[in-house]
Amino acid sequence: MMQYADQIRFDEKGLVPIIAQDADTGEVLMLAWGNRESLVETERLKEMVFFSRSRNRLWRKGETSGNTLAVVEIRRDCDNDALLALVRPRGPVCHTGSFSCFSSHGEKFAGFSCFAGKLWRYLLSRSKASPEESYTARLLSQGLSRTGQKVGEEGVETALAVATGNSEAFILEAADLVYHLMVCCLALGVSPPMIMKELESRHVEKQPR
């Protein structure tokens, strides 16, 4: 990170805005400020350390709550005067208890990547629930053969909806298929970002001629 600290355009107070984004879901989590010293500490701890303008001191996110932000990558914008921190949060980010500071008022995210990640996070929690109260936990408790069988069933029903040109049925069946694919991910210990990484490796960006 600090190998290009000299290229960052800090403002007249020596600060730079930092947007924290969930590296796995794409969900924007919070906006805070950093300075040169906070970035040095961030690099040392591999966790986000910001500068509090109200308290006039450094603060490590989660220093009291334990809800830290593990750093995956930090990127500069094109003008070198703002930073994007890709992080993995440990618990809710907002002081209100919301997972994101931008969801504390109840707004819903429309982005696919955000909801897919939020759904994955929810299914992870449901997988640890009692099979009596959670269908996800119950399906997982029935073993790999059963979870795989459900993907096959939903895949066939999705294909039939396509073959008959029934778009409404396709939406319903595709949703069931995606859900059961995610349950299989849980069963195998595979996260959706791992699948996205494989897809990304197959994608070749075509350059304009």
The model's pLDDT over 36-64, given as tens digits with 9 standing for 90+, comes to 999 999 999 999 999 999 999 999 999 98
In the prediction, which pLDDT does 107 show? 53
pTM: 0.66
pLDDT at 206 over 70: no
In the prediction, which pLDDT does 110 show? 44
Is residue 116 classed as helix, strand or coil in its secondary structure?
Answer: helix
Cα Rg for the chain, rounded, in angstroms? 21
Confidence of residue 2 (pLDDT cuts 50, 70, 90): low
Question: Which residues, other chains included, contact 77 with Cβ-Cβ below 8 Å and sequence gap of 6+?
Answer: 83, 84
Is residue 60 classed as helix, strand or coil in its secondary structure?
Answer: strand
In the prediction, which pLDDT does 103 show? 72
**Is residue 38 classed exposed, middle or buried when 0-12, 13-18 and 19+ CB atoms within 10 A define those classes?**
buried
Among candidate residues 4, 62, 65, 72, the one with its CA nearest the CA of residue 32:
62
| pLDDT tens digits, one per residue of 116-140 | 877 888 899 999 999 999 999 999 9
- Buried/exposed code over 195-207 (b: 16+ C-beta within 10 A; e: otherwise): eeeeeeeeeeeee
Q: How many CB atoms lie within 10 A of CB 132?
A: 7
pLDDT at 112 over 60: no
Instruction: Specify whether the CB–CB gap between 49 and 43 falls below 8 A.
Output: no
* Domains annotated on the chain, with CATH: 2-100 (3.10.20.810), 112-201 (1.10.287.1080)
Instruction: Specify whether the CB–CB gap between 83 and 74 falls below 8 A.
Output: yes
Residue found under tokens 């490590």? 60
**Is residue 43 classed exposed, middle or buried when 0-12, 13-18 and 19+ CB atoms within 10 A define those classes?**
middle
H/E stretch holding 35 reads none
Q: Give the bridge partners for 17, in sequence order.
A: 33
As a whole number, the mean pLDDT across the chain is 89
In the prediction, which pLDDT does 160 show? 98
Confidence of residue 77 (pLDDT cuts 50, 70, 90): very high
Instruction: Specify whether the CB–CB gap between 61 and 69 falls below 8 A.
Output: yes
Residue with more model confidence, 70 or 117:
70
